[in-house]
Amino acid sequence: MSTSLLDRVNAALATANDPEIKRPITDLGMVESVEVDGPGVVRVTVLLTVSGCPMKDTITRDVNAAVRAVSGVTDVELTLGVMSAEQRAGLKELLNNGKTQRDITFAQPGSLTKVFAIASGKGGVGKSSVTVNLALAMAGQGLKVGVVDADIYGHSVPAMLGVADAKPTQVEDLIMPVPTESGVSVISIGMLKPRRDQVVAWRGPMLDRALVQMLADVYWGDLDVLLLDLPPGTGDVAISLGQHLPNAEVVVVTTPQEAAAEVAERAGTMASMMHQRVVGVVENMSYLPCPHCAAAGEDHRLEVFGSGGGERVAATLTQRFGYDVPVLGRVPLDVALREGGDSGTPIIESHPTSAAAVVLQSIADSLAGRNRGLAGMQLGLTPAGRL
Ligand SMILES: Nc1ncnc2c1ncn2[C@@H]1O[C@H](COP(=O)(O)OP(=O)(O)O)[C@@H](O)[C@H]1O
Ligand SMILES: [Mg+2]
Ligand SMILES: [Zn+2]
């Protein structure tokens, strides 16, 4: 009787994932002991990877819930311990697949992860807002999504995803990405700074090192999609990215107002230098739906920042590269989008039926569903046509 209860408890424990590693705690050597005592009292000791693990509460909640759901269990006594240095080294080796030297898995020839670099000509056009909403939109479709916030001028992505002050857990020198409520994992260059208020001039080799760290030293697991929020313009990050992730595809975010030539120049130059394909343009802050007319059921758009910017950037890039660079979508101005960013609940989640969320979802769907084909390979020359 108690043996089968123990079996059922073990099976239940195998359904509890480590929130950062996203694998069963039973596979990770985190369950130190399980005992059934008397009629239905279960004693479990779970080892955290590091002391003061930020995921402590989540693990406690999930393990309790999993074990309590087992029929015959009347009470759970959960004890949390911490892995020894040796156990941690073992876990690290397990996560590294036994390798000591880490590579950027996304850049490996057989990688199935789609990598999108979100670029813009300048700041403030909504690059980060677009990035986080695309991430959530894709995650909502069941995809495993990671976000790298590589914007050295303002790392707003963690706050927009509701994990503003999160510090990543480290297992030896392996960094765990920060999980969000919505299932997206995130790492920000801001998290690599020793202190929040410390000003770091991310340049050249140091920046390159930080980028490699976010790609190779972070345990991403098997992602379907990796989104990178790039700093605006071109520069050191673009050069590093081209070297380390030549298969990344570029999405350019612009407003209707920006000078098309300039945006295309800045965002497009890096893509062409690095042979990265520009897969499309997102026009953000496209228009403001007129509230009066909307109330009357009519579609009247106020073009606050002018019109046609996205179209012009797309046309300029199409001409320059010789392949079709489409406008992927026009995202309207929406107070809820701004508020969602400020409160850490992106509009895709807070107002999924709003016009802005619907457009963002359709952009996400078309990016995620795009056939990889030649776009995923570095040809070293400009592809002649669109696939
Ligand atoms: N479509 C939109 N409607 C309303 N506010 C927006 C929209 N897009 C962006 N914003 C707001 O504009 C500001 C700048 O956006 P952000 O995504 O941080 O730009 P970037 O990353 O390009 O600097 C933020 O406060 C954001 O909430
Ligand atoms: Mg930003
Ligand atoms: Zn009107």
Q: How many angstroms is it from 348 CA to the middle of ligand 3? A: 25
Q: How many angstroms is it from 349 CA to the middle of ligand 1? A: 16
Sequence-distant contacts of 187-194: CB under 8 A, at least 24 apart: 187/146, 187/147, 187/148, 187/149, 187/214, 187/218, 188/148, 188/149, 188/155, 188/157, 188/158, 189/149, 189/150, 189/151, 189/152, 189/155, 189/214, 190/149, 190/155, 190/158, 191/155, 191/158, 191/166, 191/167
- What pLDDT, on the 0 to 100 scale, is given for residue 71? 93
Q: How many angstroms is it from 3 CA to the middle of ligand 1? A: 57
Could you say which ligand is closest to the alpha carbon of residue 157?
2
- What pLDDT, on the 0 to 100 scale, is given for residue 372? 41
Output the residue whose Cα is nearest ligand 1's atom 24: 338
Could you say which ligand is closest to the alpha carbon of residue 288?
1
Q: For residue 253, which atom of ligand 1 is closest to its CA?
A: 22
Q: For residue 232, which atom of ligand 1 is closest to its CA?
A: 22
Tokens of 280: 């499309």
Output the residue whose Cα is nearest ligand 1's atom 3: 333
Output the residue whose Cα is nearest ligand 1's atom 5: 338
Q: Residue 342 corresponds to which amino acid? A: D
Q: How many angstroms is it from 197 CA to the middle of ligand 2? A: 18
Q: For residue 122, which atom of ligand 1 is closest to its CA?
A: 22
Q: How many angstroms is it from 74 CA to the middle of ligand 1? A: 50
- 116: β partners: 227, 249
If we measure between CA atoms, which residue out of 127, 124, 125, 121 comes closest to residue 149?
A: 127
Mutate-to-test residue for ligand 1 from 230, 338, 348, 359, highest number of ligand atoms within 8 A of CB: 338
3-state SS string for 42-96: EEEEEEECCCCCCCHHHHHHHHHHHHHCCCCCCEEEEEEEECCHHHHHHHHHHHC
How many Cβ atoms from other residues are within 10 Å of residue 65's Cβ?
13
With b meaning 16 or more CB within 10 Å and e meaning fewer, what string describes 310-326? bbbbbbbbbebbebebb
Output the residue whose Cα is nearest ligand 1's atom 26: 338
Beta strands 170-171; 174-175: pairing state: antiparallel
Q: How many angstroms is it from 260 CA to the middle of ligand 3? A: 28
If we measure between CA atoms, which residue out of 349, 276, 350 comes closest to residue 116?
A: 276
Q: Can you list the alpha helix ranges (DSSP code H) found in the chain?
A: 2-13, 56-68, 85-95, 127-140, 157-160, 204-216, 236-244, 260-273, 291-295, 309-321, 335-343, 347-350, 355-369
Q: For tokens 């911490």, what's the residue?
A: 82
Could you say which ligand is closest to the alpha carbon of residue 289?
3
- What pLDDT, on the 0 to 100 scale, is given for residue 373? 39
The rounded distance, in Å, linking the Cα atoms of 24 and 6 is 17
Q: What's the average pLDDT block by block, 10 residues per block, for the chain (387 residues)?
A: 80 94 92 91 94 88 96 95 91 78 80 93 94 97 96 90 92 90 93 64 77 91 94 78 87 88 75 83 95 90 90 92 94 96 96 96 91 39 36
The rounded distance, in Å, linking the Cα atoms of 5 and 1 is 6
The rounded distance, in Å, linking the Cα atoms of 341 and 156 is 9
Compute the C-alpha angle 378/382/384, nearest 5°. 115
Residues with CB under 6 A from ligand 1: 120, 123-129, 156, 284-285, 331, 333-334, 337-338, 341, 356
CB neighbours of 221 closer than 8 A, spacing ≥ 6?
Answer: 21, 22, 23, 144
Q: What is the largest CA-CA distance in the chain?
A: 76
Q: Residue 250 corresponds to which amino acid? A: V
Output the residue whose Cα is nearest ligand 1's atom 12: 126
End-to-end CA distance of the chain: 61
Q: How many angstroms is it from 255 CA to the middle of ligand 2? A: 14
Q: For residue 284, which atom of ligand 1 is closest to its CA?
A: 1
Q: How many angstroms is it from 126 CA to the middle of ligand 2? A: 7
